Structure 1
Amino acid sequence: MNDKRAPEHDDHQRTLVLDGHALQAAATSHLDEGAVTPAFAEHRDDIIALLNDALATELVCVLRYKRHHFTAHGLSSPAIASEFMVHANEEAGHADQIARRIVQLGGEPDFAPDSLSARSHADYDTSSDLKAMVRANLVAERIAVEAYRQMISLIGDKDPTTRRMLEGILADEEEHADELKDLLEQ
């Protein structure tokens, strides 16, 4: 294998140098695994399990927001119902990202309706009062924020791509929580 390191300067030695042999070995073994290299395999199943629980949470959130969108009533309901639908669509986008990542990791996204509620970190809600709906969604968003923070911490450097995806979703969930807090204060 050709050594493609940059030429060293005469006045100092490079201390950060990639191991070309390890690169070649990782690149050529288990080609059927796509982007998942052998060093990653140790944590893959645990990460897929975390992601499937996050997928369930996002799907339950979509269902809760859609129910609230269609059943909200009262003077403030049109604007709040509209916000619920925006959040439902964003949660659906998160679910799609998570499912896509599970597949990239060689897993299968679990969309099984029978187990969604049991695997979800957040609850479904059937409130009929507008303020109770907002409160239930705020609680769910705060649960999601904490769940994503914990997942990011657990994953750390074990899977930087998944961590970055979760950090992006976390930012959206924090924004949702702030928006719902503002609605609750109105």
Structure 2
Amino acid sequence: MHEVTSNAHTGIDTAAIREAARNLDDGAVTAGYQGNREEVIAMLNGALATELVCILRYKRHYYTVSGANNGAIKAEFLEHALEEQEHADLLAERIVQLNGKPDFNPASLTERSHAEYNDAEDVAAMVKANLIAERVAIESYRQMLARIGDSDPTTRQMLVGIMAKEEEHADDMRDLLE
């Protein structure tokens, strides 16, 4: 059987691609990866810390908000906590795909997080703290996307999806303030 070394229509060197793919130690990271892997992993670990702090903040608010008229707010806090957990899972999975190690160390979590933890007692203060944190997350993702550019399309697509959800969360919190 004759092996084609390049596709005449696309100019893709299939023989070179196949040979490079035999380096199994790099997992999903191929020779054509153009991002700065260490920098991307560091950014993703910062985002992971942020999401973990957001989960804890939303969970605390969920469990401590009280009052007969606050059922909808309580439900919103829980929904956001669960969605932030999905974001954390996506980030951790991507870090591993890039041959990095997700940092779940609780000892340094708050200092690595872009957003702050909040233990407010008042419902309005809780909502305000969550809105601020969502705005911090949105801007952090925006800056990460600018930094990554087109060098890592998979990470970029994931971050765009997470940022869209954070914008939805911010909108939800703003609506609750009114």
Same fold by TM-score greater than 0.5: yes
Cα distance in 2 between the residues matched to 1:133 and 1:183: 10
Q: Deviation of residue 18 (structure 1)?
A: 2.5
Of 12, 19, 26, the residue aligned with 1:18 is 12
Decide which of 144, 156, 165 is 2:158's aligned counterpart.
Answer: 165
Question: Are 2:62 and 1:69 aligned?
Answer: yes
1:41-77 deviation line (CA, Å, top 9, x unaligned): 7611110000000000000000000000011123432
Whether contact under 8 Å (2:35, 2:152) holds in the other structure is no
Percent of matched pairs sharing the same residue: 57
Question: What is the distance in 2 between the residues matched to 1:157 and 1:103?
Answer: 20
Query: 1:73, 1:23 → 2: CA distance?
Result: 59
Give 5+ residue unaligned stretches, structure 2.
none
Runs (4+) of structure 1 moved beyond 6 Å? none
- Residues 122-141 of structure 1: CA distance to partner in whole angstroms, max 9, x if unpaired? 00001001000000000000
Paired residue for 2:87? 94
Q: Normalising by structure 1, what TM-score?
A: 0.88
Please say which structure displays the higher CA radius of gyration: 1
- Which of 13, 16, 24 pairs up with 1:31? 24
The DSSP-based 3-state class of the residue aligned with 1:62 is: helix
Query: 1:158: Cα distance to partner?
Result: 1.3
Q: Distance in 2 between matches of 1:64 and 1:105?
A: 28
Instruction: Measure, in 1, the Cα distance between the counterparts of 2:165 and 2:148.
Output: 19
2:108 to 115, 135, 160: 115
Aligned residues: 176
Query: Paired residue for 1:183?
Result: 176
TM-score if structure 2 supplies the norm length? Answer: 0.92
CA contact (8 A) 2:127 2:177 kept: yes
CA distance in 2, matches of 1:96, 1:124: 19
Whether the 8 Å CA contact 2:52–2:84 is kept in 1: the answer is: yes
Q: Which whole-Å CA distance do the structure 2 matches of 1:2 and 1:123 have between them?
A: 56
Structure 2 CA distance, aligned partners of 1:155 and 1:26? 24
Hey, what does 1:58 align to over in structure 2? 51
Aligned equivalents of 1:76, 1:116: Cα separation in 2: 33
Per-residue CA distance 1:118-161 (angstroms, 9 max, x = gap): 00000000100100000000000000001111111111111110
The answer to whether structure 1 residue 151 and structure 2 residue 153 are counterparts is no
Whether the aligned pair in 2 keeps the contact of 1:40 and 1:158 (CA below 8 Å) is: yes
